Amino acid sequence: MSRHRAVKKLDLEDEFYDEDGALYDEMQDISEEDQERLSTCLKAVRKELGPNTGIDDQEIKESLWYYYFDQAATIAYLVKTHKLKPKKSARHRTGNPPLARIRHSQQQPAKTDPRQRTPSLAGLTSKPSATQPGLASLRSSGSSSLRALTTPANTTGSRSINGGLSRLSLGSLSSTRPFGSKTPETGSSVTDKDPAKTSNVVGKALAALKTRQPQPKISSSTMSRLGAGGIGSLQSISLSQLSSQSKVQKAQSAGTTSKPVLTAKPAFLKPCAVATVQDAEPSSLARFILDDDNKMQTGSLSKPNFAVVDSIKKEISQIFVDSANSGSEQISEAKGLVAGDLTFIRQLVMNVDIDSAVSKSIKPFAFDTPSPDDRVLAAQKTPAAAPKKAQAASVVKGIDQLKISSDTSRPQSRLDSVSSPGTGTVTPSEDVVPLVKSKRRIDVVAEYSKYQKDRDTLNLVVVGHVDAGKSTLMGHLLYALGQVNERTMKKFERDSEKIGKGSFAFAWVLDETEEERTRGVTMDIATSTFVTKHRKFTLLDAPGHRDFVPNMISGASRADVAVLVVDASTGEFESGFDGNGQTREHAILIRSLGVRQLVVAVNKLDVVGWSQSRFEEITERLLAFLVGCGYFKDDVRFVPVSGLKGINLVSRIDADGLLSAPAELASWYFDNDSAAMVADARNSSNSSSSSRAAGPCLVDLIDAFTVPERPVNKPFRLAVTDFFKGGAVGSSNSVSVSGRIAQGHVQIGEQVVLVPGGATGVIKSIDVDYVTEDWAVAGDSVVLMIQNIDIQQLSVGSVVCAGPPAKPIQAVSRFEAQLVVFDPQVPITNGFPALMHIQSLNVPVVVHKILETFDQRTGEVVKKRPRQIRKGATARVEIRAETPVCLELFKDSKELGRVMLRKSGETIAAGIVTSLFTK
Amino acid sequence: MKLLRQQIEKDQSGFVRVVPEEPEDMWHVYNLIQKGDQLQASTVRGVKSESNTGSVTTDRVRLKLTISIEDVFFDVQAGALRINGRNIAENKHVGIGQYHTLDLEMNQPFTLSKREWDLISLQRIKDACDITKQADVAAVTMQEGLAVVCLLTQYMTVVRQRIEVAIPRKRRGSTANYEKGLQRFYEQVYRAIKQHVDFSVVKVVILGSPGFVRDQFFDYMMSQAVKTEDKTIIENKPKFLLVHTSSGHKGALEEVMRDPQIKSRLADTKATQEVKAMDDFYQMLNSNPDRAFYGFEDVRKAADNSAIGTLMVTDELFRAADIQTRRKYINLIEDSKASNANVLIFSSLHVSGEQLQQLAGVAAILNFPLIIDSDSEYSSSDESSKKEPENVDFDF
């Protein structure tokens, strides 16, 4: 035989199978105990599947092992795969389980998300009383709950059913869970952490099923398996519901399909409802199939089915007739429901076939689930619960459909039409698309309002003159709050000592570039996060050096609140405050950028021996200045600290077990409401008030910051601060942009538009403060990974906007603005060149025309077309930029409608955009 | 520029014959030439000739053409000047009235005749032919991610290359991207300097930036030069001057000129003078607004009162302008000169010239305060609106 022929004769299937098997053989390290269990389960599965399936033992074993002895899931999977791709199933499967398992094990540790939405789930499970009644009522009084089902207005009823269902599906989920994790213990105690993820997985699987992928993607195949389990149990639930509604007696329907189902009802409804599925007890689905198998042997399908259906129908109508006060409409509705429920049964019964039954029955049911129903959407409060709710919604949907059918008030004919197998599947399949969408779409606003508390992040910028100790202070704060581990800190200390900058060790926490460390100067904004008692903070450590004011503006324009650090040591405060010091400039800048709340950290007070008089002197001078800048007196708080020594940062000086509090400070720093009252404190301290509590520390004060209202409902805007290729997940076709969301909200999968340029992309992932999220809202500092946008199209200053139909931001090179002129060395004239800063962008502009100067308070025009704008004046001007800049009117967006004008390293004016000129 | 011959009659009509020798001369010529002038130069033209058999052949013939100028185009970057007009001298190949575009070439003499050689034009010729006033400077303004490589001559600031590199900012835990971006940026600037700076001509290379960018770049450049044994850079190390600026945009050149270090180095070059005058003007506007005027109407009034101490005008106003407008400004200059004013004609290619141009092109520092009735309103509003089309394409 020639080589060619040998090759020809090769059984590719076998070749590849072996290869895959060798690569992914997971069966090797099975313990004896498991082996034993495997064989028993194998028998059971065999029995359930019937004799002539064509599935070999090995395969079943593997699936069993993969599902960790869950026979139901295994059967579901086997039946499904063999139906879809009978031949390739072996390869398919062998390739997948390990992968899937890895996925699972990866997913598990990721559950420590502080903002996880599981509480709601936990609530669901931990409050049986809330969910049980729905079921209980179903069981006990079929008529009333039926009514509840049929009248959507009666939301409590339907909700309780929803709840029950979701709970049930949760139970089934938890039953599937252990197989991924291999650890039954953790799997069974799944409710505290995992459901969110698992149900998400199932949700995705549902989506995959619905899109009718003939062969699910490798990654999602495991999900679809899980999904199959979930759906299966859901089916059983609907059946059990039905059984409870109809109260059909065991004997009545002997020998027919629904008989076993109905009889099984009390038995398996409970396990499902209580969600105790730790052991590998065959799920209800399995039983159902089993029962079907039995029935199949009895003979033809449809006839007995009809009989059962009819009988059930009669039963239920009977119930309705019995229930007093029910109007005719209600009855018709009920009839509709009956008809619909019968279709459920019909579908299930009809489709049950030895081989393909389950997959078929799963599918039609899955297609029943679509629900664009707004009401349900609104009920979709949490993304984690969403998939379950979607399932629950399917029931509601089903009910709705029933209602429609009931309008014909011809249950019989309806029944006939449904009995033709086609209709059952065709109609719902049209609904597939809206569901996929509606399921993915998260109502972020509702989400946000629900989780506002958890997500209340404040963007805190730290500003001040160069060498005031901003980075050291914040570095020490982060260290004290446990954001920096001991080892790293030790390393910093050692290394900074080595280059003779030992005192900069804490600053190294934030100054990460080599340049910054060797020079001991912060050059660019450093971002970090920390949590206080009531708030989460995104920390923006700004550079103090005057050359880096553009960077500081970039950071400050992202901030809500600020800490102004001043150096209290002799001469240093003055050099930062007087003349062109950055204490002054920064204070004005952040105020102009919308920061209202400010804590002044009077740093290095230890150098002057914690002198109270020095503290008061600085307080007095600064407060007068700050009030002049437009801060409210009550929004400015002063606190004496030592960044280097870490005194009065995170805990009050009188707290026990801390660094010995400096006696000098303790002698006069007491808890007063405002810094202005320190003077009183001094007086009273003379009359001995040693019992008084020490004054608030820095963290106390920043913890008291209030969160501003976020413009969540406006169209999404994000000014790009930084961008880079790839990102957390790493992909060739995507680019990561970072910045703070100026307004609106964004979620994964959403389409966005980039301005200028107009390129569109899709959000692939969202990182909020270094934590992966599904959505983000205004005020969050995020890193968005966007697909389909080329990095060449991005630049600092681009704005990522919500996709159509929302209107994107405009990029203009001419606009009108109102300027507040500070204290420039030279007056602003027509044709005055300057650098304009907006968010992180700086662009050369020309004050093309001065239109008028006006009185800031009254708004009266002082002078039309003046030749120049003097210091401190306000004016309306036309500005022309060298390149188009993304701007919004100030009234529409505070963040994107604010500009700063600088010239020769000096901030000369702040402005707000009043109108845009588009050519 | 070399002046070969100059013949100007009493009525101020006449011609000059000059040879442009460097790119800057093209700029001078561009400023000299006006619509309606006559220009004679050697050029190449494709001439069609029909043989007896009817076949047409096109020959490229070098010939001397005299044209009446209709349109001028100047490319600052390339230093190319193209002049379009109708032929006015009888010629074997080109008939009278036929259009031709002359491409002025370096080191090729040409003759320019004008109906009227005014003082600005003559001054221009004089300046252009003065070789002592030449100072070639290269300047690189930088900030992280942005660099502008310019060449400064007496009359021109030419942007040779603008480099923009996206440098990822530092992120928590990783500065690798940032460092990499920075290296890429430095590498590009280094290459641009090597490409655009001719060290045989350039006397000083200014590196201006905020922060430490210039120092870092300089270190990078020197280490790179040593690594690659780049002799030109190593040998010219003393030519580099590090100066602080507030940004990396081209406008920062103005700050460069103000730097005392540079001032002494560049002595009395036109650019530093202009920047100083501009500074003085703004200072005056700040301290005593009645002694600093801008806009033609205002300045004209000041001139009428013989109040002008320093008059600043951009050359933009004389170019392209019609005779009427041109004369208006020339009168202003002459009147000012008559009252012993110091007249500075700014090159619109310099940063300060651009700034003046934005200020309606004319500004004056007065010897004594003058209160004008129309002070309440910026009077030359029509002036600026007329200038708008020119201003639209400004480049910093």
Q: Which residue has the higher pLDDT, A109 or A639?
A: A639
What pLDDT, on the 0 to 100 scale, is given for residue B320? 61
Same domain, B172 and B292: no
Q: Which residue has the higher pLDDT, A369 or A490?
A: A490
Q: What is the mean pLDDT of chain A?
A: 66
Task: Spell out which residues of chain B touch residue A770, defining contact as CB-CB under 8 Å.
Answer: 172
Same domain, B215 and B103: no
Same domain, B102 and B44: yes
Is the pLDDT at A874 greater than 70? The verdict is yes
Shortest alpha-carbon distance between residue A194 and chain B (Å)? 29
Sequence ranges of the domains in chain A: 3-47+55-103, 120-441, 455-473+524-703, 717-802, 810-917
Q: Which one of A547, A870, A879 makes the best mutation probe of the B interface by having the most chain B beta carbons within 10 Å?
A: A547
Same domain, B250 and B293: no
What pLDDT, on the 0 to 100 scale, is given for residue A318? 57
CB contact under 8 A, A512 and B376: no
CA distances from A469 to A464, A642, A826, B357 (A): 8, 9, 32, 44
Residue of chain A whose alpha carbon sits nearest to that of B394: A882
Token couple for A324 = 């007093």
Domain assignment present for residue B369? The answer is yes
Q: Tell me, what DSSP letter sits at residue A694?
A: B
User: Is A850 in CB contact (< 8 Å) with chain B?
Assistant: yes
Confidence of residue A424 (pLDDT cuts 50, 70, 90): very low
Same domain, B116 and B14: yes
CA distances from A219 to A283, A646, A667, B325 (A): 25, 50, 65, 76
**Residues B250, B256, B258, B262: is their CA dihedral positive or negative?**
negative
Reduced to 3 states (helix: H, G, I; strand: E, B; else coil), residue B28 is helix
Q: Which residues contact A269 (CB under 8 A, 6 or more apart)?
A: A135, A139, A237, A240, A244
Is the pLDDT at A912 greater than 50? The verdict is yes
Total domain count, chain B: 3
A783-836: pLDDT as tens digits: 888 888 888 888 888 899 988 888 888 899 999 999 999 888 888 888 888 999
Query: Which of A133-147, A197-211, A383-397, A709-723 is most confident?
Result: A709-723
Domain assignment present for residue B16? The answer is yes
Domain assignment present for residue B396? The answer is no
Query: Which residues 153-172 in chain B show a CB within 8 A of chain A?
Result: 166, 168-172
Residue positions counted in chain A: 919
Shortest alpha-carbon distance between residue A841 and chain B (Å)? 12
Contact status, residue A198 vs residue A430, Cβ threshold 8 Å: no
CB contact under 8 A, A827 and B286: yes
Alpha carbons A846 and A830: distance in angstroms, whole number: 8
What pLDDT, on the 0 to 100 scale, is given for residue A668? 82
Least confident of A308-317, A736-745, A901-910, B184-193: A308-317
- The CATH number that applies at residue B34 is 2.30.30.870
Across the interface, which of A528, A830, A844 has its CB nearest the CB of B249? A844
Query: Which residues 755-814 in chain A show a CB within 8 A of chain B?
Result: 770, 791, 794-796
A766-776: pLDDT as tens digits: 888 778 888 88
What pLDDT, on the 0 to 100 scale, is given for residue A646? 83
Last residue in a domain, options B133, B158, B189: B133
Across the interface, which of A513, A829, A867 has its CB nearest the CB of B175? A513
Q: What is the arithmetic mean of pLDDT over A115-144? A: 41
What pLDDT, on the 0 to 100 scale, is given for residue A502? 81
Q: What is the arithmetic mean of pLDDT over A121-136? A: 41
What pLDDT, on the 0 to 100 scale, is given for residue A230? 42
Is the pLDDT at A595 greater than 80? The verdict is yes
CB contact under 8 A, A864 and B177: no
What pLDDT, on the 0 to 100 scale, is given for residue A429? 36
Query: Which residues 315-374 in chain B show a CB within 8 A of chain A?
Result: 354-355, 357-360
Domain assignment present for residue B278? The answer is yes
Same domain, B128 and B144: no
Last residue in a domain, options B103, B133, B163: B133
Confidence of residue A712 (pLDDT cuts 50, 70, 90): confident
Is the pLDDT at A48 greater than 50? The verdict is yes
Same domain, B101 and B167: no
Domain assignment present for residue B320? The answer is yes
What pLDDT, on the 0 to 100 scale, is given for residue A873? 87
Q: Do domains A455-473+524-703 and A717-802 have the same CATH topology?
A: no
What pLDDT, on the 0 to 100 scale, is given for residue A825? 82
A437-481: pLDDT as tens digits: 334 567 777 777 766 666 678 889 999 998 888 889 999 999 988
Contact status, residue A722 vs residue B168, Cβ threshold 8 Å: yes
Same domain, B279 and B200: no
For the residues of A57-99, what is the DSSP string, one character each? HHHHHHHHHHTTS-HHHHHHHHHHHHHH-TTTHHHHHHHHHHH
Q: Which residue has the higher pLDDT, A65 or B81?
A: B81
Domain that holds residue B106: 2-133
Least confident of A669-678, A853-862, A900-909, B341-350: A669-678
Is the pLDDT at A348 greater than 50? The verdict is no
User: Is B211 in CB contact (< 8 Å) with chain A?
Assistant: yes
Pick the CATH number of A717-802 from 1.20.970.10, 3.40.50.2300, 2.40.30.10, 3.30.540.10: 2.40.30.10
Alpha carbons A224 and A209: distance in angstroms, whole number: 7
Sheet of strand B362-366: strand arrangement: B292-294, B362-366, B308-314, B342-346
Is the pLDDT at A234 greater than 90? The verdict is no
Name the residue type at position B128: A
What pLDDT, on the 0 to 100 scale, is given for residue A571? 85
Task: Spell out which residues of chain A touch residue B251, defining contact as CB-CB under 8 Å.
Answer: 833, 835, 844
Same domain, B225 and B159: yes
User: Is A883 in CB contact (< 8 Å) with chain B?
Assistant: no
Query: Which of A372-386, A731-745, A895-909 is most confident?
Result: A895-909
Residue of chain B whose alpha carbon sits nearest to that of A528: B172
Is the pLDDT at A748 greater than 60? The verdict is yes
Token couple for A73 = 């899931």
What pLDDT, on the 0 to 100 scale, is given for residue B199? 86
Task: Spell out which residues of chain B touch residue A527, defining contact as CB-CB under 8 Å.
Answer: 171-172
Query: In the CATH hierarchy, which fold is given to the domain comprising A455-473+524-703?
Result: Rossmann fold (3.40.50)
Q: Which residue has the higher pLDDT, B51 or A92?
A: B51
Is the pLDDT at A167 greater than 60? The verdict is no
User: Is B220 in CB contact (< 8 Å) with chain A?
Assistant: no
What pLDDT, on the 0 to 100 scale, is given for residue A311? 57
Same domain, B288 and B373: yes
Reduced to 3 states (helix: H, G, I; strand: E, B; else coil), residue B366 is strand
Same domain, B55 and B145: no
CB contact under 8 A, A865 and B378: yes
User: Is B394 in CB contact (< 8 Å) with chain A?
Assistant: yes
What pLDDT, on the 0 to 100 scale, is given for residue B349? 82
Q: What is the arithmetic mean of pLDDT over A320-330? A: 44
Q: Which residue has the higher pLDDT, A143 or A516?
A: A516
Burial A175-195 (b: 16+ CB within 10 A, else e): bbbbbbbeebeebbebbebbb
What pLDDT, on the 0 to 100 scale, is given for residue A54? 67
Tens-binned pLDDT, residue by residue, of chain B (396 aa): 888 888 888 888 899 999 988 778 888 888 888 888 899 999 888 888 888 888 888 888 888 889 999 988 888 777 788 999 999 988 888 888 889 998 888 888 999 998 888 888 888 888 888 766 565 788 999 998 899 998 887 777 888 899 998 888 877 767 788 888 899 999 999 999 998 888 887 888 899 998 889 999 999 999 999 999 988 889 888 889 898 998 889 888 888 888 887 777 776 677 788 888 888 898 888 888 888 888 888 888 888 888 888 999 888 888 766 777 888 888 888 888 888 888 888 888 888 888 888 888 889 998 888 876 554 444 444 333 333 333 333 233
Query: Which residues 500-529 in chain A show a CB within 8 A of chain B?
Result: 512-515, 519, 523-528
Query: Which residues 640-679 in chain A show a CB within 8 A of chain B?
Result: none
Same domain, B278 and B359: yes
Q: Which residue has the higher pLDDT, A742 or A139?
A: A742
Contact status, residue A817 vs residue A911, Cβ threshold 8 Å: yes
Shortest alpha-carbon distance between residue A833 and chain B (Å)? 7
Last residue in a domain, options B108, B133, B158: B133
Residue B292 exposure: Cα atoms within 13 Å on the Cβ side: 19
Query: In the CATH hierarchy, which fold is given to the domain comprising A810-917?
Result: Elongation Factor Tu (Ef-tu); domain 3 (2.40.30)
CB contact under 8 A, B378 and A525: no
* Cis peptide bond prior to B289, omega within 30° of 0: no
What pLDDT, on the 0 to 100 scale, is given for residue A251? 37
Alpha carbons A840 and A795: distance in angstroms, whole number: 10
- The CATH number that applies at residue B147 is 3.30.420.60
Shortest alpha-carbon distance between residue B375 and chain A (Å)? 8
Write the ipTM. 0.75
Task: Spell out which residues of chain A touch residue B394, defining contact as CB-CB under 8 Å.
Answer: 846
Is the pLDDT at A123 greater than 50? The verdict is no
Q: Which residue has the higher pLDDT, A508 or A58?
A: A508
Burial A555-594 (b: 16+ CB within 10 A, else e): bbbbbbbbbbbbbbbeebbebbbeeebbbbbbbbbbbbbe
Contact status, residue B31 vs residue B81, Cβ threshold 8 Å: no
- The CATH number that applies at residue B323 is 3.30.1330.30
